[in-house]
Amino acid sequence: MPSSADTTPQRDENKKEEQLAAFREDPTGQILTTDQGVRVTSTDDSLKADARGPTLLEDFHLREKIMRFDHERIPERVVHARGAGAHGFFQVYKPLSHYTSAAFLQDPAMRTPVFVRFSTVVGSRGSADTVRDVRGFAAKFYTSEGNFDLVGNNMPVFFIQDGIKFPDLVHALKPNPRMEIPQAQSAHDSFWDFVSLTPETAHMVMWVMSDRSIPRSYRMMEGFGVHTFRLIDAQGSARLVKFHWKPVLGAHALVWEEAQLIAGKDPDYHRRDLWDAIELGHPVEFELGLQVIAEQDAERYGFDLLDPTKLLPEEVVPVELVGKLTLDRNPTNYFAEVEQVAFCVGNVVPGIDFTNDPLLQARLFSYLDTQITRLGGPNFAELPINRPVAPVHNNQHDGLARHTINSGAANYLPNSLGRGYPKPAGAGEGGYDHYAERIAGHVVRARSPSFSDHFSQARLFLDSQSVYERAHLVDALCFELGKVEREAVRQRVIDAILVQIDPALAAEVALVLGITVSPHPTPAHSTTTLAASPALSLATIKHPSIATRRIAALVARGHDATSLAAIIRDLESRGASVEVVSTVLGEVPGKTEGGTRAVRLLLNTPSVLFDGLIIADGVESAEELASHEPAVRFTAEAFRHCKTVAAVGAGQRLLDAAGVPTDGAGIIRAQTAEKAGSQFIAALAKHRHWSRKTGTA
Ligand code: HDE
């Protein structure tokens, strides 16, 4: 009897064909040429004086081919080198003219094209996706008034308050300059040395040690603009704004051990997850949220809105959901699009403006400047992925790698030879007007005293975590600081940072590190105890859908193919994807006629790549799986990582062999396929069953 899983390889094949067909250029009939258009007769042998003789310098095809190869790489990004991107569009829910004049935020019928690049921060371009790190969330809106880039992260605050410290932060985070170790992680001396000496990092360190830094998927994390920006309406009135992205699938995290295992088993996990979801027809959706604050309320909240180490709790100023981003198209060519995309914080459109946040101000310089080295010159805005849809007319014509061939003799203003064009926008012609903020003061190299409370919000974040999240955070601190070799650095992190956030937290970590908290006669920093913000806990951002979740169905010879097919149908009808994993590939015979097609081998398929596990019924199948070491490991690991594990009928034999208890959260032992299916779906929607570790929900 054919099960729905039988179609999977066929579907994969069809997808591949479609992908190939999607290339814009059909190569059929093309003749190979040099870059000069000269037809090439052979590309496998270089030109030689005699078949066994020296290669000739005059072989222009060889020289060109090798020259092009030698220069295939461009400098990777200094930070955020590792990433993945997707195309899509943005639509506003209703006109936002009461906040901003930005044209793309006015008409719900208008679809603004968007390209998004997600990234890690620390690792180099070839590093693993699931490392503990901040994730970049950069969106380029190709609006009718020019490009708007919202270059954010998956955390709402940052490590430092002033951009002048960014090179120090990044040097401390990156591998040791002597031997370039360790790659893509902060669990080393220099990062924690910097933290211990830089109290303003405290709040961000709490975020990075939390589950936010090991997202399950780029599709399942929040995004934040971090800085306070300004929205300007058509009358020129300004409001302060914080930008948010809310994932429609909810926000979910990996288990730390799972993240580390995936880094070895599938370093491309997040890339692949994004790619596969879009290929399988599951668009990736985020809602755009705004926290809008009246200019006169800027000082109401007990902290400075210009300080990027602070957040504005959603319970204090709610996030207004104003539109939806849908990512529904994968890139055609990774290099041309994902690698060459150049985001720039300074890319704003009329109706959106900056504030004096000193971190933001430094970024305004950096993003334009960095492209000169990375993309080799000033004409990077002409690359297809960076080109605005709005027309471009100016006198900046020259420079390396210019594509546009400008005509006309007047490349200056004012001119009469070009009848005065291109002329600056006049009144009512959509020109960008900077907000006329009143500035008065002395030129000083100083930090505002309003930025000085580094610990109240760090404690707010900690206090807002659920029991299991706090436990994960403590474990992460112990893991990271346990790798710090210098005891003085560990001690300083405890004494100067953790104890200031929460003495109990410091004591817990110090105990594991085998050190004692130094006595502090008086608190070194004055802090305020803030009301917990439930919105900061991932536990509150669940989404009861199993759409796009990956489930492994374990089968062996003699399984009940009929009941398994019913469960698979049920799961796939809710948007989940089920992959049949077995001891052999291809058709696995069932206990009666028919069977199920296995698309993955237990031998090389780890449980960490799946969100849940279902074991088929059938005595013979269960016996074989229970005595197959990879199947037992698969099951035990899925259970240890708090995933939903289910078995139908005799399949429970494998649960027993893997040491899975008879009952508990997310453990499903059912006699019938119907029961197993419905219980499995409900349990899977909870994402993970953390109470297995902490004893609490
Ligand atoms: Fe970046 N950052 N950054 N950053 N950043 C870059 O730009 C920089 C900061 C962020 O997918 C670089 O084109 C400075 C905060 C993302 O292409 C570089 C400062 C936030 C991406 C740069 C910051 C970010 C970058 C590297 C302190 C969250 C990836 C290559 C003043 C709001 C964009 C490049 C992509 C990339 C500089 C701080 C997010 C070197 C100087 C805060 C998502 O220009």
Does 227 score more than 60 pLDDT?
yes
Determine the pLDDT at residue 523: 59
With pLDDT > 90 as the criterion, what percentage of the chain qualifies?
A: 91
Instruction: Compute, in angstroms, the gap from residue 204 CA to the centroid of ligand 1.
Output: 16
Q: How far apart are CA 581 and CA 592, in angstroms?
A: 19
pLDDT reading at 6 higher than 50? no
Q: Distance from the CA of 463 to the center of ligand 1, in angstroms?
A: 29
> Could you tell me the pLDDT band of residue 691, with boundaries at 50, 70 and 90?
confident
Is 80 one of the catalytic residues? yes
Query: Which ligand 1 atom minimizes the distance to the CA of 80?
Result: 29
List the single range of 53-57, 492-496, 579-583, 592-596 with lowest mean pLDDT: 592-596
Read off the pLDDT band of 674 (50, 70, 90): confident
Antiparallel, parallel or unpaired: β 586-589 and 595-598 = antiparallel
- If you average pLDDT over residues 41-49, what whole number do you get? 97
Q: How many CB atoms neighbour CB 15 within 10 A?
A: 14
- The b-or-e profile of 284-296 (16+ CB within 10 A means b, else e) is bbbbbbbbbbeee
Scan for tokens 């290339």, then name that residue.
23
Give the model confidence (pLDDT) of 609-643 as tens digits.
Answer: 999 999 999 999 999 999 999 999 999 999 999 99
148 burial type by CB count under 10 A (0-12 exposed, 13-18 middle, 19+ buried): buried
Residue 146 CA to ligand 1 center (angstroms) comes to 21
Give the rounded distance of the alpha carbon of 633 from its chain centre. Answer: 29
- In this model, does residue 320 exceed pLDDT 70? yes
**How many angstroms separate the CA atoms of 187 and 483, rounded?**
6
Let me know: does 664 contact 658? Beta carbons within 8 Å.
Answer: no
For residue 171, the SS3 value is: helix
pLDDT at 576: 96
CB-count burial class (<10 Å; 0-12, 13-18, 19+) for 376: middle
Tell me: pLDDT of 481 over 80. yes
> In residues, how long is the chain?
697
Given a contact cutoff of 8 angstroms between Cβ atoms, the answer to whether 129 and 89 are in contact is no
Instruction: Give 425's contacts (C-beta < 8 A, 6+ positions apart).
Output: 431
- Does the beta carbon of 83 sit less than 6 angstroms from any atom of ligand 1? yes
Q: Which atom of ligand 1 is nearest to the CA of 136?
A: 43
- The whole-number pLDDT of residue 386 equals 98
Which residue's CA lies nearest to atom 29 of ligand 1?
Answer: 80
Q: Please tell me the predicted confidence (pLDDT) of residue 696.
A: 52
Residue 135 has pLDDT above 50, yes or no: yes
**Parallel, antiparallel, or unpaired: how do β-strands 83-92 and 112-120 relate?**
antiparallel
Q: Answer whether 370 contacts ligand 1 (Cβ < 6 A).
A: yes
Q: For ligand 1, what atom is nearest to the CA of residue 119?
A: 11
pLDDT in tens, 409-437: 899 999 999 999 999 999 999 999 999 99
Find the 367 Cα to ligand 1 centroid distance in Å. 7
What number is the average pLDDT over the span 171-186? 96
440: Cβ–Cβ under 8 A, 6 or more apart, which residues?
Answer: none
Distance 136 CA to ligand 1 centre (A): 8
CA-proximal residue: ligand 1, atom 42 (nearest): 158
Q: Which of 78, 79, 125 is the pocket-test mutation for ligand 1 (most atoms within 8 Å of CB)?
A: 79
Q: Check pocket membership of 226 for ligand 1, CB cut-off 6 A.
A: yes
- pTM as predicted: 0.95
> Which of 11-20, 26-35, 143-152, 398-407 shows the lowest per-residue confidence on average (mean pLDDT)?
11-20
Query: Which residue from 74, 76, 77, 158 has its CB within 8 A of the most atoms of ligand 1, so it is best to mutate?
Result: 77
Please identify, by atom number, the ligand 1 atom nearest to the C-alpha of residue 224: 32
Spacing, Cα 19 to ligand 1 middle (Å):
32
Contact 517, 496 (CB under 8 A): no
Q: Could you tell me which residues come within 8 angstroms of residue 653 by beta carbon, excluding any fewer than 6 positions away?
A: 619, 622, 623, 625, 626, 647
Question: Is 153 among the residues known to form the active site?
Answer: yes
pLDDT in tens, 257-282: 999 999 999 999 999 999 999 999 99
Q: Does the pLDDT at position 7 exceed 50? A: no
CA 209 → CA 134, 137, 532, 537, 574, distances in Å?
A: 10, 19, 18, 13, 33
Per the listing, tokens 């019924």 go with: 617
Q: Which of 61, 87, 147, 153 is catalytic?
A: 153
CA 652 to chain centre: 37
Q: Does the C-beta of 559 come closer than 6 Å to ligand 1?
A: no
Contact in structure between 78 and 372 (CB atoms under 8 Å): no
**Whether the predicted pLDDT of 697 surpasses 50:** no
Residue 363, ligand 1, Cβ within 6 A: yes
Q: What mean pLDDT comes out for the span 199-207? A: 98
Per residue in 340-352, pLDDT tens?
A: 999 999 999 999 9
Locate all alpha helices (DSSP H) within 237-387, ordered by sequence. 256-265, 269-279, 334, 358-374
CB count within 10 Å of CB 348 equals: 22
Output the CA 219–ligand 1 centroid distance in Å: 20
Residue (of 20, 22, 44, 41) closest to 31 by Cα position: 41
pLDDT > 80? residue 32: yes
Instruction: State the amino acid at position 432 in one-letter form.
Output: Y
| Token pair recorded at residue 413 | 């203003």
**How confident is the prediction for the chain on average, in pLDDT?**
94
pLDDT in tens, 504-556: 999 999 999 999 999 865 556 677 889 999 999 999 987 888 999 999 999 99
Please name the residue whose Cα sits nearest to atom 27 of ligand 1: 163
Atom of ligand 1 nearest to the CA of 227: 32
CB-based contact 614:551 (threshold 8 Å) = yes
Region 389-400: mean pLDDT is 96
Tell me the CA–centroid distance for residue 79 and ligand 1, in Å: 7
